Structure formats: structure tokens, C-alpha cells
Amino acid sequence: MANQTLEQIENRRTFAIISHPDAGKTTITEKLLLVGQVIQTAGAVKGKGNQAKAKSDWMEIEKQRGISVTTSAMQFPYNNCMVNLLDTPGHEDFSEDTYRTLTAVDSALMVIDATKGVEERTIKLMEVTRLRSTPILTFMNKLDRDIRDPLELLDEVEDILKIKCAPITWPIGSGKFFKGVYNLAGDYAIMYKSGQGSKIQDVVRIDGIDNPELIQTIGEDFHQQLKDELELVQGASNEFDPQEFLEGKLTPVFFGTALGNFGVDHMLDYLTTYAPAPQPRQTLEGEVKATDPEFSGFIFKIQANMDPKHRDRVAFMRIVSGKYTRGMKVTQHRIGKDITINDALTFLAGDRTNAEEAYAGDIIGIHNHGTIQIGDAFSTFKEPVKFTGIPNFAPELFKRIRLKDPLKMKQLLKGLIQLSEEGSVQVFRPLINNDLIVGAIGVLQFDVVVNRLKNEYNVEAIYEPVNVVTARWVDCDDAKKLEEFKRKCEGNLALDGAENLTYIAPNMVNLNLTQEKYPDIRFFSTREH
């Protein structure tokens, strides 16, 4: 591989933000775009008060700021690195997309509202990052408000999320008295100025804890308190260990305020210095390294294009190895077909442009006319390759969907199968009747489906309750036993959008009893694409 290509790959940092709704993900994203110089000024990106939250935060940024960001990936240069930030929809439209996006990153930033601490969605998302031991950085946000005791916050992260904390910076006060942070390893303070939320802050740095300038700036009382705290925290917490960070066992912690535009760059400095370059990905056939000379990648997300009239969808590919160049011929392994990619999109500095080239770690968008599915692998080599670990999760909510006009069954089925290919909902067809059951992880998905069926497929559908609470994909090595199971449990079996056999249970007791009764049948709560 050419040195220049190697260097480009080594410089890639691909990450996503995980957080509980309202912790500040959107605000931090905006500040990252500011320091990455994708946008020149930051402002309020959201409607106030009760205004409904946008379907995607990034779409909303786009709308309100009049800039061209895409809703899925964003690339910007920082500190001699090329940073790829992937959007994880985290609000009401929370879905499997979020999980799968996390399979496409090499590290993640966990944002915690420091007035609240560890919240439920964060716990769930951290579990997902654990599946691949993703390195995690932590940003304690909202220091301009009265936060909880910072030591207690670190304890909570360690206890609940089972990851060691290494504070890199330490807050000097909070709320009205937020003065800045002290960098523990570097032994210097960075002072905070309020009212600078929309532009890059001037950095006022004061070296050394006993520096008279620091005492003068924050006052003697604060200074003594800071000294006491630093002594305590240095005794009680972990030092940053790059290796443990890379193994996902320890997280560097930063304090700041996204709204006040303070501290986000401290985190980004660490991310570009210590977060891993593009990592290898597992395949059924072995491991593919980022620096392998041949190009390869997998699809982790499919998104309807902004223009619903052209049912044109973009498939987002994480490049796993090598380099993409425009006009490259690759094999799409699921269908064993060669295609030429002429018009892949890249997302540098917020512009959707047709890429001339892209490297391992980058995300490219490929126009999909219905032939690409989530999990599809592409490569310039011919030997079959299938990346593992891109899961479908068993839905948690179910509804029967019914047509207003029964003659449109074909369109309905087509729409549902295409929407399930995108991966945000799943569709189940029971073996014993003609029902269509929609399963989702988030409740908003149901509305999205009905709206999109109407707008994109011209089908009016309504929901009815259905007596299903959970689904499991089933499998068995013994064909005879599987047949018997199918016969006996036909009333609870369905096919999903990709024709996989699924057990749909009316309640958990039923599921447990069935599992006990058929010990040779395997029940999966996730299905790999």
C-alpha cells in the first residue's frame, strides 16, 4: 500500500456520540462542527419549549442554520486528523439504527448531563458499545448549571457502567461560579468566559496550581477548595492509561458546557491523539484490517433520500479496508454481482459531494435502487466476505397494520418490506393467517411507517392492537425437530421481512415455557444481517 494511503488511514478517527435525550448531544455536535470549522457560528439549533423535536437533530441543524449537513455522517479535519462523526438518532425516533451505527465507529463519546448523572438510555447504549469493547470518552456537560458532586458522578459511572474513570480535567466550580477546568496531567488551568457560546473561545491558560494569577483569578477560597479537591481526586481516581482506554476498560473524563462552548475542544484533542485509527472488522472468513491493500466495506444504514418522490435511497458504507476511488469496480457479495461505484457521496465539511477518493474509516453514501441491504459487504477482491456483528434486534412493540383500501395489498407489502430493509422497523407475517404485524423498538417508528407508506407508496394504513409482546428468531440444527416445532407452534410462528422464521409470543411466560419445552430449538433476540 502506498505510504500516502497508509498515512490517510492512520489519520482517520471515526466516532459517534451516545447519550440520554437532552444531555446535550445536539449542542455538542454543533460545537464540534464549530471547532472543525464546518460552521462559522453556532446558535440555537432547536425550537424552544414544546415545539416538537425534529426527526433528526442534524436535519434540524441543517434547516435552521442553512448549512448543508447530512443526517448521517460528517467529516472534518482537526489536529492533523480526519474526523468522521456519525449521527446516532437518540430521541423519540430511537431505533436499531443507533445500534448499527455503533458497529461502524472505532470510538464513542459518552455525554452525561452532570446535573443528573448516568441515565437509562446511556446505560443501554453503553451495553452496545461493550459488544465490541469500543473505546469511550466521557464529557460531563452543563457545568454552567449547578451540577452534582463531580466525584460522585465518577463513582456512578464506575459503578453503573463498569468502566474506570480517568479525569483529564477537573471543574473549578459550577453554575454561576463556574470558572473553568484544571488539567490534571498538564498541571494548568483553562479559564471559562461566559457568553461565548457561538464562537470559538479565546483560551486563557494559567500554568501551575500555585500560580498567583490563578489565585487572583478565582479567589483564595475557590483556590483552596480546588487544591483540596485535586488532592482528593488524584488519590481516589485512575490515571489515564492509553492501553486500557483502547480496550474499553477506562474512559478519560472531561468537564465543560456545550452551551457555553467550553471543554468540547479538550475532548477533541484527546480523541484525535488517543482514539484508535480505523480498527479491523471480523468476518466469517477471518479479520480484515484497515491497512489491507484491497478495498472492502459494509452497509450499516439505509436512508430514504430527502426527496421522497424519487424513492431513491442512500446506503451508507463504512469502508473497512483500503481506499475507494471514483469509478471503482467492486463485488457485492450477497448477490455475487460486480458493480461500478461512480457517484459515492462523501461528507467533508458538511458538503455532500461526489467523492474522488475515500479511505478506511470513512463513510461513503451509495445510491440504492433497492438492490442493497443492511449488512451487505462490498470489496475489490472476489473471495466471498461477510462482516459479522451487524445485528437486528427483536422489536419490543408490535401492532397489526391494516389497509383502508384492501386493493392496495401489494403496495403495502412492498412498502413494508422496503422499510424493514432500512432496518428501522420489522415486519412479520404469521404462518397461519394473512395478518401483517409491524414490530419496532421505539414508538415513533409506527407513525413514521404510516406517514411514509402514505407519502412514498400511496397507501393508507391504520394500526390495530395485536397480542404479541416479543419476538425471537428461531433455528435448530436438527431439521426434523425444527419441523415438529413448526407443526406444534404454527400459531405463534411468522416470517420476517427477509423470510426468517420467528416466534412471536403473546407474553413472556409463554415464551419461557416454549423455550423450556423445546430445548433443542435456539431462540435469538438478535439476528445478524
Residues at the interface with ligand G4P (CB under 6 A) = 19, 21-27, 44, 46, 48, 57, 141-142, 144-145, 257-260
Q: Return the closest-CA partner of residue 97 out of 58, 136, 65.
A: 58
143 is annotated as contributing to ligand binding? yes
We find the least distance from the C-beta atom of residue 258 to ligand G4P, in angstroms, to be 4
Residue 213: CA count within 13 A, CB half-sphere: 9
Our CB check for ligand G4P shows the closer of 137 and 290 to be: 137
We find the least distance from the C-beta atom of residue 77 to ligand G4P, in angstroms, to be 24
280 is annotated as contributing to ligand binding? no
CB 147 within 8 A of CB 115: yes
| Cα R_g (the chain), whole angstroms | 25
Our CB check for ligand G4P shows the closer of 166 and 258 to be: 258
Extract the C-alpha cell encoding 362.
Answer: 470513512
Q: Please state, in angstroms and rounded to a whole number, the distance separating the CA atoms of residues 291 and 285.
A: 17
Q: Please state, in angstroms and rounded to a whole number, the distance separating the CA atoms of residues 297 and 319.
A: 4
We find the least distance from the C-beta atom of residue 410 to ligand G4P, in angstroms, to be 40
Our CB check for ligand G4P shows the closer of 18 and 288 to be: 18
We find the least distance from the C-beta atom of residue 90 to ligand G4P, in angstroms, to be 6
26 is annotated as contributing to ligand binding? yes
Q: Please state, in angstroms and rounded to a whole number, the distance separating the CA atoms of residues 314 and 508.
A: 37
Our CB check for ligand G4P shows the closer of 12 and 25 to be: 25
Our CB check for ligand G4P shows the closer of 122 and 331 to be: 122
292 is annotated as contributing to ligand binding? no
Strands (E), 142-217: 164-167, 169-172, 180-183, 188-191, 204-207
We find the least distance from the C-beta atom of residue 128 to ligand G4P, in angstroms, to be 17
90 is annotated as contributing to ligand binding? yes
The one-letter code for the residue type at 281 is: R
We find the least distance from the C-beta atom of residue 257 to ligand G4P, in angstroms, to be 3
CB 258 within 8 A of CB 28: yes
User: Which H helix or E strand runs over 5?
Assistant: helix 3-10
91 is annotated as contributing to ligand binding? yes
The one-letter code for the residue type at 10 is: E
21 is annotated as contributing to ligand binding? yes
141 is annotated as contributing to ligand binding? yes
Our CB check for ligand G4P shows the closer of 101 and 279 to be: 101
Extract the C-alpha cell encoding 81.
Answer: 486528523
We find the least distance from the C-beta atom of residue 167 to ligand G4P, in angstroms, to be 18
We find the least distance from the C-beta atom of residue 105 to ligand G4P, in angstroms, to be 17
Our CB check for ligand G4P shows the closer of 49 and 286 to be: 49
24 is annotated as contributing to ligand binding? yes
Q: Please state, in angstroms and rounded to a whole number, the distance separating the CA atoms of residues 262 and 256.
A: 5
User: Which H helix or E strand runs over 150?
Assistant: helix 150-161
Q: Return the closest-CA partner of residue 424 out of 297, 308, 302, 298.
A: 302
Our CB check for ligand G4P shows the closer of 110 and 374 to be: 110
Phi, psi (rounded to 5 degrees) for 113: -75, 110
Following CA atoms 131, 136, 139, 140 in sequence, which dihedral angle do they give, to the nearest 10 degrees? 60
Our CB check for ligand G4P shows the closer of 126 and 505 to be: 126
We find the least distance from the C-beta atom of residue 423 to ligand G4P, in angstroms, to be 22
We find the least distance from the C-beta atom of residue 92 to ligand G4P, in angstroms, to be 10
**At which residue does the C-alpha cell 469502508 appear?**
319
93 is annotated as contributing to ligand binding? no
CA separation (Å) from 458 to 387, 402, 420, 425? Answer: 36, 14, 17, 19
Our CB check for ligand G4P shows the closer of 264 and 319 to be: 264
CB 90 within 8 A of CB 97: no
Phi, psi (rounded to 5 degrees) for 273: -80, -45
Q: Return the closest-CA partner of residue 60 out of 91, 95, 35, 14.
A: 91
CB 167 within 8 A of CB 232: no
Q: Please state, in angstroms and rounded to a whole number, the distance separating the CA atoms of residues 505 and 512.
A: 9
DSSP for residue 148: P
129 is annotated as contributing to ligand binding? no
**At which residue does the C-alpha cell 494548568 appear?**
188
Residues in the chain: 529
261 is annotated as contributing to ligand binding? no
CB 267 within 8 A of CB 167: no
**At which residue does the C-alpha cell 383500501 appear?**
405
DSSP for residue 55: S
467 is annotated as contributing to ligand binding? no
We find the least distance from the C-beta atom of residue 74 to ligand G4P, in angstroms, to be 15
Our CB check for ligand G4P shows the closer of 142 and 452 to be: 142
Our CB check for ligand G4P shows the closer of 142 and 333 to be: 142
We find the least distance from the C-beta atom of residue 205 to ligand G4P, in angstroms, to be 21
Q: Which residues are annotated as a binding site?
A: 19-26, 87-91, 141-144
Q: Which residues are annotated as a binding site for GTP?
A: 19-26, 87-91, 141-144
